[in-house]
Amino acid sequence: MRTFCVGDIHGCFTEFSELLNAVKFNMQEDFLLSTGDIIGRGPRPVDTLRFFIKNQNRIVTVLGNHELSLLRNYSIWRSMASPSTKEEFLKNLKAKELALILKEPDSENIFNYLRSRPLAYFDQSRNLLLTHAGLSPEWKFDEAVGYSKEVEKILQSNRFDWFMSNMFSDKPDSWMKVLKKEAKARKGEKILKRDPNAEIGKISTTVELKRLIYIVNAFTRMRFCRSDMSLEFLCKDGPEAAKENNLYPWYEMQKNISPKDTIIFGHWAALQGKCPVKNIIALDTGCIWNGALTMIDVDCKHIKHVAEAHH
């Protein structure tokens, strides 16, 4: 069995199919990993999603920021009772590919699939961690999957709509701040425990939400960190330009991985698939921006298969 990993597809299904044909991918024997953002801006998002769903026993994809944006719009859309209101909502969506997916007759199946996807996937046999944006420099390698599961549990629960309505925020940007707020909340709960109906529930929910937001942002939006390891979300430039503003690529700040660990991530097309850290592999080569779609053989990482964009 061979295992491949492909970068951000963004609905570029034609180029993705070319890569599978190039490596003679065998759906009965081979295995595929994806860095997420399998949809977003590209011409064939529905075909991409249906392919992943049909072959989900041979494909693992983590969630990217574009999948989460789709889930957020799905949450809003399904809360609308009036068909005309729903239609107006679809008409006004800036991301037209999301409207295409929401209109599909099997959209419920698509969203159930996405809600069951992880933020992080760990291949224990290879000591390989797959995420969309990388690994927060404030986290240890073996903590990532546990943090991912916290969000996965919410996405699959009856608290899904609550989380979707509160998920998009640039704060908190520091895991240390999250832990400090949790410590303060625990202290507050001890003080208030004589009155269980007081503010305890409110404190717990607020702190939990901040924790979940940071986890989502670290796994799906992160590129740069400040010197204190807090995350910065506005800059999308290459590493050299950002250093003029005292920003550092997250992988330069990450000190919690060993030479035996491997991280594969996408999300950052400006890197053009280049990461100077030996055991951290960048796979987004900007197919949607007229670059290319890149796939690697996980056991022979130096072998890259590339399909040039032609959408």
Is the pLDDT at 282 greater than 60, yes or no?
A: yes
Strands 128-131 vs 262-265: parallel, antiparallel or unpaired: parallel
pTM: 0.93
The answer to whether the beta carbons of residues 231 and 225 sit under 8 Å apart is yes
**pLDDT digit string, tens, across residues 214-266:** 999 999 999 999 999 999 998 888 888 777 788 999 999 999 899 899 999 99
Q: Which CATH class is domain 3-308?
A: alpha beta
Amino acid 236: pLDDT:
83
Q: What is the pLDDT of residues 118-163, one digit of tens each?
A: 999 999 999 999 999 999 999 999 899 999 999 999 999 999 999 9
293-307 confidence digits (pLDDT tens) = 999 999 987 778 888
Contacts of residue 60, defined as CB under 8 A and 6 or more positions apart, other chains included, come to: 31, 32, 33, 34, 118, 121, 130
Q: Half-sphere exposure (CA, 13 Å, Cβ side) for 260?
A: 6
Classify residue 105 by its DSSP letter. T
Amino acid at 288: I
| Each residue's pLDDT tens digit, 70-84 | 999 999 998 988 889
Confidence of residue 164 (pLDDT cuts 50, 70, 90): very high
pLDDT of residue 159: 94
Give the residue ranges of DSSP H helices in 9-167.
Answer: 13-22, 45-54, 65-78, 83-92, 96-103, 107-115, 144-155, 160-166
Q: State the pLDDT at residue 35.
A: 98
